[in-house]
């Protein structure tokens, strides 16, 4: 691999409460190339969100470092945009204003007002939401809210897009549409993406590599699977593709045979 764009180096994370310490992550290291789409999959509670939050700069690692283009990540910044499972739009602003707010914050000095407007509209078009630009979050569906959240994240032109189960709260059909849109956007913008998912098919469909985490406590990266499928990818054609079936089976085997989830007693 060429020099990593994003580097997670020997990260440990423990949470302490009084005398109790919960070691969530143990020695997690990962190199991500520019433009790569990585999914992180693992059973509930293993520490996926904790890892994403460390990359976002929202949580501090107990040990280890994250580098983005050789710069240590130690606080949140516009170079790392996060999209959460439940949208975090401002309810009193329209869809346009929610995206424009981020654009003004990041490009207030470097782009003119007209350029910022065009930029905002371009991102709304990318997620096919320009028709609803004047509606408020309460007036649109859950899938539409997520699309605005994605538009807002893309509008910041982040170096890394961090997606924490972005489609987790959506129905299966909406989810399918959004996955296809994310693939199209990725083809156009070539973002570097780190996405948490519980959905094996979603991971295989979207990713260049799938990072599989062992169960916690002290979760670590158990395996990293390359997904050798050409792009653009078509979900219907992939159903009978041998490489797709093999990748899917490898992830399922990891999750349900080798690292089966055992509910704490």
Ligand X SMILES: Nc1ncnc2c1ncn2[C@@H]1O[C@H](COP(=O)(O)OP(=O)(O)OP(=O)(O)O)[C@@H](O)[C@H]1O
Residues making contact with ligand X (CB under 6 A) = 15, 22, 24, 42, 44-50, 216
Which residue lies nearer to ligand X by CB, 40 or 106?
40
| Sheet with strand 221-226: strands edge to edge | 80-83, 160-164, 192-196, 37-41, 209-213, 221-226
Nearer to ligand X, 49 or 179 (CB): 49
Phi, psi of 241 (to 5 degrees): -80, 130
Min separation Cβ 40 and ligand X, Å: 9
- Shortest distance, position 142 Cβ to ligand X, whole Å: 18
C-alpha span between 250 and 144 (Å, rounded): 33
Q: What is d(CA 260, CA 6) in angstroms, rounded to the nearest whole number?
A: 30
DSSP letter assigned to residue 74: -
Least distance to ligand X, CB of residue 66, Å = 15
Return the residue matching tokens 């959460």: 84
How many angstroms separate the CA atoms of 172 and 175, rounded? 5
Nearer to ligand X, 44 or 141 (CB): 44
User: Rounded to the nearest whole angstrom, what is the least distance from the CB of residue 219 to ligand X in the complex?
Assistant: 8
| CB closer to ligand X, 198 vs 235 | 198
């Amino acid at each position: 691999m060429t020099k990593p764009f994003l580097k997670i180096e020997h990260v440990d994370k423990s949470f302490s409460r009084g005398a109790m310490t919960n070691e969530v992550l143990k020695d997690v290291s990962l190199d991500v190339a520019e433009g790569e789409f990585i999914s992180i999959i693992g059973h509930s509670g293993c520490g996926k969100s904790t890892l994403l939050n460390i990359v976002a700069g929202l949580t501090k690692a107990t040990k280890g470092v994250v580098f983005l283009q050789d710069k240590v990540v130690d606080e949140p910044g516009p170079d790392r945009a996060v999209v959460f499972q439940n949208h975090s739009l401002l309810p009193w602003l329209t869809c346009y204003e929610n995206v424009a707010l981020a654009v003004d914050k990041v490009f207030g000095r470097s782009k003119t007002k007209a350029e910022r407007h065009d930029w905002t509209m371009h991102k709304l078009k990318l997620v096919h939401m320009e028709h609803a630009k004047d509606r408020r979050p309460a007036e649109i569906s859950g899938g539409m809210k997520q699309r605005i959240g994605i538009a807002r994240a893309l509008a910041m032109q982040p170096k890394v897009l961090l997606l924490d189960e972005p489609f987790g709260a959506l129905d299966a059909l909406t989810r399918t549409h959004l996955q296809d849109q994310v693939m199209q956007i990725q083809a156009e913008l070539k973002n570097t993406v780190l996405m948490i998912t519980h959905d094996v098919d979603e991971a295989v469909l979207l990713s260049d590599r799938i990072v599989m985490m062992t169960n916690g406590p002290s979760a670590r990266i158990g395996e990293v699977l390359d997904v050798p499928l050409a792009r653009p990818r078509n979900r219907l054609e992939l159903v009978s593709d041998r490489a797709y079936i093999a990748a899917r089976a490898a992830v399922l085997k990891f999750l349900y045979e080798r690292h089966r989830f055992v509910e704490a007693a």
